[in-house]
Amino acid sequence: MVYRALRGRYYGAAAYDFSDRTLNVFAGRLQRASQFDAALQAVALNAEFYPDRPSVVTTRGEVLLARGDTTGAIGEYQRALTLGPDPQAQSRLEALQRGGVRP
């Protein structure tokens, strides 16, 4: 994949933004375009480099929720919160437990 090649060549050179946020944003764009499988692939790639970042796990939850997998989304939000504080995961989890969020 191009991302891996660019990251291998330019990581630390300030040429590209290889933070977890970049692929989270990309996954969100794919999700909004209903390209759920591609969005999950972007999240999986992000998780290779940032496996312990709550934001990466929360993004996976967002994609699953949008795809209609509420149970999977709840699991991801719970997992994100075990990794550290994440206001988005906390908010989504609370709303889902109240029945207030629908895919």
Please tell me whether residue 20 adopts helix, strand or coil conformation. Answer: helix
* Domain segments of the chain as ranges: 2-98
Q: Which residue has the higher pLDDT, 65 or 16?
A: 65
Per-residue pLDDT at 13 exceeds 70? no
From the candidate CATH numbers 1.10.443.10, 1.10.1740.10, 1.10.10.60, 1.25.40.10, the one assigned to the domain spanning 2-98: 1.25.40.10
Q: 89 with 61: CB under 8 angstroms?
A: yes
Phi, psi dihedral angles at 96 (to 5 degrees): -65, -40
Contact 30, 42 (CB under 8 A): yes
Tally the C-alpha atoms within 13 A of residue 39's C-alpha that lie toward its C-beta.
24
What's the pLDDT band for 1 if we cut at 50, 70, 90?
A: low
With a cut of 70, say whether residue 44 has pLDDT above it: yes
Average pLDDT over residues 43-55: 96
